[in-house]
Structure 1
Amino acid sequence: MLNNKKVLVTGADGFIGSHLTEELVRRGYDVRAFVYYNSFNSWGWLDHSPSDIKSSLDVFAGDIRDPYGVKQAMKGCDAVLHLAALIAIPYSYHSPDTYVDTNVRGTLNVVQAAKELGVSKVVHTSTSEVYGTARFVPITEEHPLQGQSPYSASKIGADQIAMSFYTSFQTPVATIRPFNTYGPRQSARAVIPSIITQIASGQRQLKLGALTPTRDFNFVLDTVDGFISVMNSEQSVGEVFNIGSNFEISIGDTAALIGELMDVNVEITTDESRLRPEKSEVERLWADNSKAKEMLNWTPKYGSKEGFCKGLEQTIEWFKNPLHLAGYKAGIYNI
């Protein structure tokens, strides 16, 4: 166990990263939060954290693409949870170069520094998008990797770079592969916040992309628990773990369920600008999470349809808060 040890979280200012950072502090870890440098001195979502959590953080502002800054941030740290990445799929269609720079080179910077500094554990963040459209379900960690978008291709590259340092230099790398995480603070470029914010702002004709693809949605608190479980497991080094709910639902059914939970009748229209190119759309994702259960003793608390409804209710409640909703532009498609 790494309790009382120094843990660096890259991407700590983001959706999952902020939840993870807060939970680590609550569990008694000494946390250094790597946030993206900006002239506003913003810590992203960490700006909204409780004051007792903010006051206990060691915040490092930098850029994951800068090897010098990354190494400086990692000095004195026992473990690194590497979440910093560009993740929006539509944006990767017109700016693929920056995805390679951020996701592949950024990951190289982390594992290179870990090797040189002798860091005890690196948890590298993958994504279920690396599997592409499922060839078999539920998807195990042995499923072929298919780069169906520049984003997923960059994450496949990052995954391979990270694992190559384990096989080449015995760098203690473990890879976590979360399926579609959702929850409070998520960007409206993702489908669940897009649905909720449109309804909460008074719209009843929802604009969405493809409705038939299925996803395995994972509530953010389960994803956070997965990160900490991977970090603390001695067995996880050199391994890849799916973190998913093992519950599959279509985008169309998800929208209908959210409408039901928000007690409104909605009409769904297809917005052509939200559709992925045909061969780039990932049609089906459904996680086999048995490896994480067996090796990490991790189990989703929000699995099954009942758990999904519980997670959605908490997410809806957060987004309906006028202070939170005001931060979203529900009428604009956010890529």
Structure 2
Amino acid sequence: MSEGFYRGKRVVVTGASGFIGSHLVEALVREGARVRALVRYTSGSRRGHLDRLPEDVLAQVEVVPGNVEDAGAVRSLVRGADVVFHLAALIGIPYSYVAPQQYVATNVQGTLNVLEAAREHGARVVHTSTSETYGTARYTPIDEAHPLTGQSPYSATKIGADKLAESYHLSFGLEVATIRPFNTYGPRQSSRAIIPSVMQQLAAGSAALRIGSTAPVRDLNFVTDTVAGFLLVGSSARAVGQTLNVGSGRAISIGDLVRLIFEVTGKRAELVTDDARVRPDASEVMVLLADFRRAAELVGYAPRVPLEEGLARTYAYVERHLTDYRPREYAI
């Protein structure tokens, strides 16, 4: 249990302005942590999803603009930290076909910078992996012993980052735990992902629902459950040196997911396959289903939010913030 662990702790979150990162920052503040949040620098001083946090929460966060690719900035960021949650990454799989070199720079070099800074300053690191590192399942449910396969430049860079994290624990004794979330969804997720992509089109009243392949099967985990996994992994000495899956343990095809969204929202649309949204055949990961028994045994992780409830909560958010989306465009 993480209860009480974070109170007064100095905690750094990279990728804090993103979907999961912003929810993690909010949870850490409520746990009593002293949070330093890294957001990518922009000339407009934008803080991404951190600006969605309640004012009383955001007032307790030290927001630091910067970039994980800048080693000096990362050393300064990590100085004095007890725990570093490393979430900063380029995550869009389709865009990794377009800009693989940038994915190496951010996901691999950026992770190396975080590990070096934590080694210098003696901080514990929770490194964020992804279920995409497993590739298409050779068996299900997928446990942490499953082989890793780089079926996209994105997943290949995440495998490289995971192995760097592992090496820093084995080579230097750095306290590193790797959390491997399966497909997280919920409020604030970008339209790059399937659930907000479908929901924004329905909320906008689109008669034709443009999607990619309906065959892939995914394990969908509501964001509060994923964040609970982060808190548990970061607070547990038993997690150090481990890689831990965090998921729901429930698999659903994209086609069945769309039909479930229809049921939850009470809306319908004609399904239209958009070739631009379909991955190359050999790059598509067909089945992801989490075996999270190791996380349950070592840190007490358990998912709480049923898919139907999570979808309803997510759609309510999309409806309230529809002007933030561009339903007629495909976000890669």
TM-score bracket relative to the smaller structure: over 0.9
Instruction: Tell whether the 8 Å contact from 2:6 to 2:31 is kept in structure 1 after alignment.
Output: no
* In the alignment, structure 1 residue 118 sits paired with structure 2 residue 119: no
Name the amino acid aligned to 2:137: A
Shift of 1:59: 1.1
Shift of 1:266: 2.2
Residue 57 of structure 2: aligned partner = 53
* Corresponding residue SS for 2:59: helix
Calculate the TM-score normalised by the size of structure 1: 0.97
Name the amino acid aligned to 2:277: R
CA–CA distance in 2 between the matches of 1:201 and 1:51? 29
Shift of 1:204: 2.7
Alignment gaps of 5+ in structure 2: none
Alignment gaps of 5+ in structure 1: none
* Deviation >2 Å, runs of 4+: none
CA–CA distance in 1 between the matches of 2:259 and 2:6? 43
Instruction: Tell whether the 8 Å contact from 2:28 to 2:35 is kept in structure 1 after alignment.
Output: yes
Alpha carbons of structure 1 residues 2 and 263: separation in structure 2 relative to 1, 3 Å? closer
Calculate the TM-score normalised by the size of structure 2: 0.98
Indicate the percent of aligned positions where both proteins have the same amino acid.
Answer: 52
Instruction: Tell whether the 8 Å contact from 2:6 to 2:28 is kept in structure 1 after alignment.
Output: no
**Alignment RMSD, CA only?**
0.7
Residue 90 of structure 1: aligned partner = 94
Instruction: Tell whether the 8 Å contact from 1:256 to 1:266 is kept in structure 2 after alignment.
Output: no
Name the amino acid aligned to 1:146: T
Instruction: Tell whether the 8 Å contact from 1:46 to 1:54 is kept in structure 2 after alignment.
Output: yes
Offset from partner CA, 1:10-39 (integer Å, 9 cap, x none):
000000000000011011111111111110
CA–CA distance in 2 between the matches of 1:47 and 1:198? 24
Residue 19 of structure 1: aligned partner = 23
Q: How does 1:228-239 map to 2 (within 5 A)?
A: 228-239=231-242
Of 67, 91, 107, the residue aligned with 1:63 is: 67
Residue 205 of structure 1: aligned partner = 208
* In the alignment, structure 1 residue 334 sits paired with structure 2 residue 331: yes
Residue 167 of structure 2: aligned partner = 164
Shift of 1:3: 2.5
Residue 103 of structure 1: aligned partner = 107
* In the alignment, structure 1 residue 259 sits paired with structure 2 residue 259: no
Residue 247 of structure 2: aligned partner = 244
Shift of 1:117: 1.0
Shift of 1:267: 1.7
CA–CA distance in 1 between the matches of 2:45 and 2:80? 24
Name the amino acid aligned to 2:326: K
* Corresponding residue SS for 1:42: coil
